[in-house]
């Protein structure tokens, strides 16, 4: 069954909930709430990657996330670390994180691949072309599915060459990253064409391309909160397509969607 990864942004400037969980106590309480609501694991990040976001130093990032990961681990909660920095990945795993989620797929820090290989943890490799200030300008594709497939394949080859077990690699198409609106939908519709048999993480939660899809009179599509029902629809479709996990803000809505799909699929198998 598709896993639910709850998003925990320990940042002042994330696009949907920046600043709400910047204090350690608030972040830990949110992590606990995500699990109570149905999350299987909590993805802890200390640097916003929204379009136009300014970078933070790895030292600042670690100061934000390590106390949170340590406390959540002490409570028996499975965590991942959302980072592009190898030093943060290492510190987070040493503090208890079970896997590394790198939106750059290891491109932002040349030491990431060897670090993950040494740590022996699963690695979420996302399709990525540039840092936040520049990524929208790189939404240029002749065939987005083929190009994402090939660019992810190159990352997998590099990771394996550095010693990361291929079975440990999860692929993420990077929805919203160098993909403003229309470029996202083919990647959702054709998961098997770019995933090449790897486990897949889908991270569509509240992203602007969903706002563009639901825009109509009376709907403020620029408000991330308005995109929650659309997120749940994508969660259901991703679960139906066999995604390993979905990364979401609302764990309860996602967990309900996943369980409905599971019940549907079970009934279909019995009838078949």
d(CA 172, CA 104): 10
SS3 of 198, please?
A: coil
pLDDT tens for the chain, residues 1 to 272: 999 999 999 987 555 555 677 789 999 999 999 999 999 999 999 998 877 777 889 999 999 999 999 999 999 999 999 999 999 999 999 999 999 999 999 999 999 999 999 999 999 999 999 998 999 999 999 999 999 999 999 999 999 999 999 999 999 999 999 999 999 999 999 999 999 999 999 999 999 999 999 999 999 988 999 999 999 999 999 999 999 999 999 999 999 999 999 999 999 888 76
List the beta strands (DSSP E) in the chain. 3-9, 41-45, 79-82, 99-102, 122-126, 169-172, 199-202, 245-248
Catalytic residue of the set 207, 227, 269, 270? 207
Catalytic residue of the set 247, 259, 269, 270? 247
- The conformation of residue 132, written as its DSSP 8-state character, comes to T
d(CA 199, CA 173): 11
Q: Is the dihedral of CA 256, 261, 267, 269 positive or negative?
A: negative
d(CA 62, CA 53): 18
d(CA 98, CA 123): 10
1 closest CA partner among 32, 30, 33, 38: 38
141 closest CA partner among 195, 108, 178, 168: 178
202 closest CA partner among 179, 156, 236: 236
Contact 51, 134 (CB under 8 A): no
d(CA 118, CA 162): 9
Can 247 be counted among the known catalytic residues?
Answer: yes
Residue corresponding to tokens 């939908």: 185
State if pTM tops 0.85. yes
Contact 51, 16 (CB under 8 A): no
Contact 19, 57 (CB under 8 A): no
């Amino acid at each position: 069954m598709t896993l639910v990864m709850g998003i925990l942004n320990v940042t002042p400037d994330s696009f949907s909930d920046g600043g709400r969980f910047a204090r350690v106590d608030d972040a830990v309480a949110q992590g606990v709430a995500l699990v109570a609501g149905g999350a299987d694991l909590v993805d802890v990040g200390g640097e916003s990657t929204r379009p136009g976001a300014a970078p933070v130093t790895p030292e600042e990032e670690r100061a934000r996330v390590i106390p949170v990961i340590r406390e959540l681990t002490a409570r028996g909660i499975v965590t991942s670390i959302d980072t592009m920095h190898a030093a943060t990945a290492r510190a987070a795993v040493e503090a208890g994180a079970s896997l590394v989620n790198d939106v750059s797929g290891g491109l932002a820090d040349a030491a990431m691949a060897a670090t993950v290989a040494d740590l022996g943890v699963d690695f979420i490799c996302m399709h990525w072309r540039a840092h936040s200030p520049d990524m929208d300008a790189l939404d240029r594709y002749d065939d987005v599915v083929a190009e994402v497939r090939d660019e992810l394949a190159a990352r997998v080859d590099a990771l394996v060459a550095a010693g990361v077990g291929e079975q440990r690699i999860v692929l993420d198409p990077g929805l919203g990253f160098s993909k403003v609106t229309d470029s996202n939908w083919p990647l959702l519709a054709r998961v098997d064409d770019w995933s090449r048999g790897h486990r897949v993480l889908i991270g569509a939660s509240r992203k602007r391309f969903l706002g563009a899809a639901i825009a109509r009179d009376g709907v403020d599509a620029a408000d991330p909160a308005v995109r929650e029902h659309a997120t749940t629809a994508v969660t259901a479709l991703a679960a139906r397509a066999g995604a390993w996990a979905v990364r979401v803000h609302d764990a309860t809505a996602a967990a309900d969607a996943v369980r409905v799909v599971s019940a549907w699929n079970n009934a279909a198998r019995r009838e078949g």
